[in-house]
Amino acid sequence: MSSTVSDSVRPPLTLLSEEEELFRAAVAELAESEVRPRVHAMEAAGKVDPALTAKFFELGLMGIELPEQYGGAQGSLMMVTIAVEELSKVDASAAIQVDVQNTLVNYPLNRYGTDDQRARILPRMTSDTIGAYALSEPGSGSDAFGLATRAEKADGGWVLNGSKAWITNGGEASVFVVFANTRPDMGYKGITAYIVEKDMKGFTVGKKEDKLGIRASSTTSLHFENVFVPDANVLGEVGTGYKIAIETLNEGRIGIGAQMLGVAQGALNAAVGYLKERKQFGKSLAEFQGIQFQVAQAATELEAARLMVYNAARLKDAGQDIAREGAMAKLYASQMAERVTSLCVELFGGYGYTREYPVEKFYRDAKIGTIYEGTSNMQLQTIAKAVLR
Residues with a known catalytic role: 373
Q: Is 320 exposed, middle or buried (0-12, 13-18, 19+ CB in 10 A)?
A: exposed
Task: Please tell me the distance from the alpha carbon of residue 242 to that of residue 108, in angstroms, as a whole number.
Answer: 12
| Nearest of 372, 353, 349 to residue 364 by alpha carbon | 353
CB 222 within 8 A of CB 194: no
| Nearest of 133, 21, 173 to residue 86 by alpha carbon | 21
Task: Please tell me the distance from the alpha carbon of residue 28 to that of residue 357, in angstroms, as a whole number.
Answer: 20
| Nearest of 36, 80, 19, 22 to residue 269 by alpha carbon | 36
DSSP 3-state of 67: coil
48-81: b or e for each residue (b if 16 or more CB lie within 10 Å)? bbeebbebbbeebbbbbbbeeebbbbebbbbbbb
CB 245 within 8 A of CB 65: no
Task: Please tell me the distance from the alpha carbon of residue 171 to that of residue 306, in angstroms, as a whole number.
Answer: 31
| Nearest of 111, 72, 84 to residue 255 by alpha carbon | 84
Helix runs in the chain, H state only: 18-30, 39-45, 50-58, 77-88, 92-99, 107-112, 115-127, 241-277, 289-317, 323-347, 359-366, 376-388
Beta bridge partners of 279: 284
β-bridge pairing 175-181 and 191-197? antiparallel
β-bridge pairing 191-197 and 157-168? unpaired
- Cβ partners under 8 Å of residue 249, min gap 6: 104, 135, 373, 374
Which helix H or strand E contains 114, and what residues bound it? none
Beta bridge partners of 151: 160
